[in-house]
Amino acid sequence: MELFIIQAPHANALYRVEERRLLAAEWAVASRGLEGAEMGNWIQDKHIAGFVVACKPGDEEAIARAAALSGAMAVFEKRPDGSLMPLCGPEPTPYDAMAGILKYKGKTNETFTRTLIRMAVFSGDYAAGWRGGLTVLDPMCGRGTALFCALAMGYHAVGIEAERTHVSELTAFTNRYLQQGRIRHQKSRTSATLKGREAGKVDTYLLGDGKRLSVALGDTAAAPAFYGKQPADALVCDLPYGVQHRQTATAGGGLKLLERAIEGWRGALKPGAAAAVSFNTYTLPTRQVRAAFEKAGWQVAQGGVYDTMEHWVEQAVRRDIVIARAPGAPQKGRV
């Protein structure tokens, strides 16, 4: 059986070409464990563009994973006569618009953010729950793009952010969105402690459909204080980068921040959970990021598709992704 995965449009033609490789990489990771799953040719004409992939005939799991790809707009079955039969597209949720409404300088593309989440989920030991119910942690969540994407993908979303203004904007926007959308929720605020001292405040939204959205104001290295009692199944993080961070990063600040954070992240994740971390290779080389995780005892994914994800973003940013699995024994449910 052949599936035709149509690539979603993007306003930037140059980035759209780069996004093609990310879509292929995401499918390579998401299709792990599927019998007969293979990547086929790229097809493009004036109107549509996408990949043809092979899977076992009638494989509903393969179809569902294809439809959930971040860069996919729709999935069709490619028939022997060349015609395309529509199969499915992404399922709508009340949270789909959240990640796109809040605009600010330096915001990470929502499609790329969803790719990071899929990479983390399918690279860890909890991929069997990819359809929903897992908990995704963003330990440098900014104004919440990854948290909102995780909610829309069916996951509980928890984050940490050190900038008070970012957290204030995140919570103010969330309050408005839930109220205007008439989405049932309960909000609470608690304090977290680390070594007898307050680590920060945590705002938590318990949503009417059972999902949880939490954001902690505090240091990313204090992750266990915030979420150690309810560890996450996957971690995503877009490390600070860009022209405004160049001086800090070239002085070793970006690497030092990562090294300090990794041990804390480990304490907020289940054993065998995977982290997908993106960064600017102009200021933080891939080899250094991988070495930092390996030094801390994480299992870094290398070779094959994991060496193909570096891509152009803009003049000052060339981005790569490193995926590493938290120390611990393998868990049931890994795909």
What percent of the chain is predicted at pLDDT more than 90?
65
> Is 331's pLDDT higher than 70?
no
Phi, psi angles (nearest 5°) of residue 53:
-125, 150
What percent of the chain is predicted at pLDDT more than 70?
93
275 forms bridges with which residues in the sheet?
235, 324
> Is 245's pLDDT higher than 50?
no
pLDDT digits 0-9 by tens, 82-92:
788 988 766 78
> Is 271's pLDDT higher than 70?
yes
Average pLDDT rounded to a whole number, residues 313-334 = 82
pLDDT digits 0-9 by tens, 273-314:
999 999 999 999 999 999 999 999 999 999 999 999 999 998
Taking CA atoms, 176 is separated from 101, 110, 122, 172, in Å, by 12, 20, 33, 6
pLDDT digits 0-9 by tens, 120-143:
999 999 999 999 999 999 999 999
> Is 58's pLDDT higher than 70?
yes
Q: What is the pLDDT of residue 61?
A: 93
Average pLDDT rounded to a whole number, residues 60-75 = 90
Q: What is the pLDDT of residue 90?
A: 67
Residues with Cβ within 8 Å of residue 214, at least 6 apart in sequence: 157, 158, 159, 202, 203, 204, 205, 226, 227
Taking CA atoms, 304 is separated from 29, 105, 181, 235, 309, in Å, by 10, 34, 43, 22, 10
Higher pLDDT, 275 or 37: 275
Dist. CA 66–CA 262, nearest whole Å:
32
